[in-house]
Structure 1
Amino acid sequence: MSIASVSGRTSTAYSANASTASNTADLEKQRTALQAEIRKEQQSKDDQKSKNEKLQQLQQQLQQIELQIAQKRSSASGSSGSVNHNGLGDALDVHV
């Protein structure tokens, strides 16, 4: 079986999305700061009820940031490359 390209030109261009990378880095810094704050709160001498409420809030914030990081990475990997066709179309001959 052989496949030969008959017509059409395809160019592939990959470009990194710098703003997405920057936003992701900022989110990761926020995540690290929240993780440190959670550790600090876990070791605090606050009463258990206050401690639990604050930890719950911090963990919710952490989950939101992790979700945003995952979304940014997902959208960055989905749109990190683009394929441009010149309008001639691609035709392939397939011989079996």
Structure 2
Amino acid sequence: MKMDEKENPEKELQQELQWVKYRQKMLDIMEEKLLLMKQLSEQAKKGNLIARELEELNTRINDLAAQVRALDSESRRTEDGKILE
């Protein structure tokens, strides 16, 4: 903790609030991507697709999963670089 943060707990709380708002925004984006992944997997389960179409859906799902992991990892970091669990 920096000297000025010790002297100004309000500033520290403001920064924490900004981080929480940012994290919530990222969680909302992750939720949208997860819902899309669910829709794609349900589409694949219907069984009306040829192998190429299934491969394309699988690729899209894997890409979305990678995006969700990246968003989660990045949005866990606070301004000072700490990673929150």
Secondary structure of 2:71's partner? helix
Moved over 4 A (4+): none
- 2:82 corresponds, among 60, 78, 82, to 78
Q: Which ranges of structure 1 fall in alignment gaps of 5 or more residues? A: 1-7, 81-96
CA contact (8 A) 2:33 2:64 kept: no
Once residues 50 and 59 of structure 1 are traced to their aligned partners in structure 2, the CA distance between those partners, rounded to angstroms, is: 14
- Aligned CA RMSD, in angstroms, stands at 3.1
Spell out, residue by residue over 1:5-45, the C-alpha distance to the aligned partner (whole angstroms, 9 max, x if none): xxx99345332221332232222222222223223223331
Structure with more of its chain in helix, by fraction: 2
With normalisation by structure 2, the TM-score equals 0.57
Q: Give the alignment of 1:1-96 within 5 angstroms.
A: 10-11=6-7, 12=9, 13-14=12-13, 15-16=16-17, 17=19, 18-73=21-76, 75-76=77-78, 78=82
Percent of counterpart pairs with the same letter?
6
With normalisation by structure 1, the TM-score equals 0.52
Q: Give the structure with higher Rg (CA).
A: 1
Higher relative contact order at CA 8 Å, sep ≥6: structure 1 or structure 2? 1
Q: Which ranges of structure 2 fall in alignment gaps of 5 or more residues? A: none
How far 1:49 sits from its partner (Å)? 2.6
Structure with more of its chain in strand, by fraction: 1
Q: How many residues are paired up?
A: 72
CA contact (8 A) 2:23 2:75 kept: yes
